[in-house]
């Protein structure tokens, strides 16, 4: 009886990638997450580790198909996925992406459950797993590979969450418009052309999936733009409030100091000039009508200073005496305790 299992490595590699690659790919993705996760502090950052890996692989492997589509049209991209090394690569990438979607749900359920949403996580990934199975069993992988460059905004989003210093909302929104809206729409229109439908054996699946993806991407873009405008408004309001607070504080500081209190005036230096102006400088000035004020005598203050000094000396002397008395009482208690211990020892 002939066994259905492969006997050699060549037999294993001869099988379709969707048959033998899922387990090795799953193990590799779990290992990558386990090695990278300790380097990130938040669940949100860790949730994008596998997304960054997948988006980088899909964006890179999409380039040959994207080039063929841009230079030769839908027919050239379709032919690239039917034969040659690009066809083999497409089979492996489809298998990889299906396993990645499963790994993201499995690892997310265990490690960062609150980061896996119902619509964008469980429903989205489950639908795309079904799509990958459909592509692996048919010949429509070239369409997926041509549109895989749409994962470039996902790569930017993942890196921005993992490394906040490189985040740019404007760059992300620009990538969303270019790839998730413009390119998606162009591919959708191309799959609806009669010649393209003939190559796909008039299957509606590519056009339906691209149409649903375009609606989803438009919704994401709307949410991204709304959030971006709200953040800009909050940042502008906060900056205006901080500017007003600083201006008010500067005004208070400017009005709080008199000339004599200003730090620009040397201590004990009066604000009025200390040099007397000679009468000859102003020969015609008349000072006869100016009032003359009596300056109070400083006798009382002079008499009070010795008394205050004596009181301070008495206070200092009292503190010293209290400290000495406390230390004397402490020594006396220690001596009495030692005598009691000695008496008890003798009695024993």
* 231-245 pLDDT tens trace: 989 988 888 888 888
- Cα–Cα distance list, 220 to 27, 119, 129 (Å): 31, 12, 20
* 133-144 pLDDT tens trace: 999 988 899 999
* 294-326 pLDDT tens trace: 555 555 555 666 666 666 666 666 666 666 676
User: What angle separates helix 63-80 from helix 184-191, to the nearest 10 degrees?
Assistant: 10
Q: Locate 184 and state its tokens.
A: 């998606």
The rounded distance, in Å, linking the Cα atoms of 205 and 266 is: 86
Q: Which residue has the higher pLDDT, 120 or 345?
A: 120
Reported as a pLDDT band with limits 50, 70 and 90, residue 333 is confident
Is residue 127 over pLDDT 50?
A: yes
The pLDDT of residue 11 is 54
Nearest to 56 by CA among 203, 158, 194, 126: 158
* 158-204 pLDDT tens trace: 999 999 999 999 999 999 999 999 999 999 999 999 999 999 999 99
List the chain domain ranges. Answer: 11-245, 311-348
What does pTM read for this prediction?
0.66
Stretch 210-221: mean pLDDT: 94
DSSP labels, 149-198: GGGHHHHHHHHHHH-GGG--HHHHHHHIIIIIIIIHHHHHHHHTSHHHHH
The rounded distance, in Å, linking the Cα atoms of 15 and 343 is: 99
Reported as a pLDDT band with limits 50, 70 and 90, residue 265 is very low
Is residue 250 over pLDDT 60?
A: yes
- The half-sphere exposure of 103 on its side-chain side, counting CA atoms within 13 A, is 26
The rounded distance, in Å, linking the Cα atoms of 206 and 143 is: 7
Residues 6+ apart with CB under 8 A from 111: 33, 37, 43, 46
Reported as a pLDDT band with limits 50, 70 and 90, residue 249 is confident
Stretch 111-124: mean pLDDT: 89
């Amino acid at each position: 009886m002939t066994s259905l299992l492969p006997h050699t490595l060549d037999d294993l590699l001869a099988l379709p990638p969707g048959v033998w690659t899922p387990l090795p790919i799953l193990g590799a993705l779990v290992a990558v997450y386990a090695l990278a996760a300790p380097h990130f502090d938040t669940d949100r950052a860790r949730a994008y580790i596998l997304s960054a890996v997948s988006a980088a692989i899909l964006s890179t492997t999409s380039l040959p198909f994207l080039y063929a589509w841009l230079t030769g049209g839908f027919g050239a991209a379709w032919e690239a996925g039917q034969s040659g090394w690009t066809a083999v690569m497409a089979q492996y990438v489809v298998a990889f992406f299906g396993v990645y979607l499963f790994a993201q749900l499995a690892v997310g359920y265990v490690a960062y459950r609150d980061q896996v949403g119902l619509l964008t996580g469980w429903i989205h990934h489950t639908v795309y797993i079904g799509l990958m199975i459909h592509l692996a069993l048919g010949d429509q992988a070239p369409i997926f590979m041509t549109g895989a460059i749409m994962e470039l905004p996902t790569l930017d989003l993942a890196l921005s969450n993992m490394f906040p210093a490189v985040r740019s909302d404007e760059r992300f929104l620009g990538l969303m418009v270019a790839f998730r809206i413009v390119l998606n729409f162009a591919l959708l229109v191309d799959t609806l052309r009669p010649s393209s439908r003939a190559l796909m054996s008039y299957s509606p699946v590519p056009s339906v999936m691209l149409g649903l993806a375009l609606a989803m991407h438009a919704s994401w873009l709307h949410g991204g733009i709304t959030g971006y405008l709200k953040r800009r408004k909050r940042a502008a309001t906060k900056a205006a409030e901080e500017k007003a607070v600083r201006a008010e504080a500067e005004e208070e500081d400017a009005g709080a100091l008199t000339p004599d209190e200003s730090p620009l005036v040397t201590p004990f230096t009066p604000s009025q000039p200390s040099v007397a102006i000679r009468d000859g400088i102003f020969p015609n000035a008349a000072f006869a009508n100016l009032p003359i004020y009596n300056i109070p005598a400083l006798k009382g203050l002079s008499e009070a200073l010795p008394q205050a000094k004596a009181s301070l000396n008495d206070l200092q002397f009292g503190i010293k005496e209290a400290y000495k008395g406390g230390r004397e009482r402490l020594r006396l208690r220690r001596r009495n305790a030692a005598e009691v211990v000695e008496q008890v020892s003798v009695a024993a």
